[in-house]
Amino acid sequence: MGAARNPRHQTRPGAVLFACSLNSVRSPMAEALTKHLLGTSIFVDSAGVECTGLDPFVLEVVGEVGYERKEHHSKTLDDLQDHSFDLIVALTPEARDKAEEVVAGEAVAVEYWPVEDPTLAGGAREQRLDAYRRLRDDLIARIKERFGSNVAEAS
């Protein structure tokens, strides 16, 4: 579950976009957790290569660490009107490729954090939830490492 090793973790961007394939699990979870951990110290959003509705397991596992996500409007990277993000964190290879295409020639950094896809987990409900919890815990560790050690404790 190691966090992304990034020597730039001391530099906190002013605006971060998390991107994944469908904007239904990984990127909205990362968005919610970053907002929970950092509050309003940075602007955070999420998008996907494509979009579908928010996976209800995301709400459940982020709720377990104290964040109540009220609503999520799925959107694609192409839907974004404004590319004024300092950093795009891609959570899937497809999102990394699309993000690099969308911001080509702009001063926007793109980082790739390969993470587990919990939707691939089989088994009973609790086993599937455990996969979402592993993703949540991995993202918390990565967010804390990337954005500094003064991040509030989430669990």
Does a structural domain hold residue 84? yes
pLDDT at 70: 65
Whole-number percent of the chain with pLDDT over 70: 85
Task: Please tell me the total count of domains within the chain.
Answer: 1
Position 45 pLDDT exceeds 50 = yes
- Averaged confidence pLDDT in the chain: 86
Domain CATH code at residue 97 = 3.40.50.2300
Between residues 51 and 71, the one the model is more confident about: 51
Does a structural domain hold residue 83? yes
pTM value is 0.87
pLDDT at 11: 78
How distant is the alpha carbon of residue 4 from its chain centre? 13
Q: Round to whole Å and give the CA distance between 93 and 145.
A: 21
Does a structural domain hold residue 8? no
pLDDT tier at 148 (50, 70, 90 boundaries)? low
Structure confidence by residue, pLDDT tens digits, 74-108: 889 888 866 689 999 999 999 999 999 988 888 89
DSSP lists the bridge partners of residue 16 as 44, 87
Does a structural domain hold residue 78? yes
Residues 6 or more apart whose Cβ sits within 8 Å of residue 149? none
Is 89:111 a contact under the CB 8 Å cutoff?
A: yes
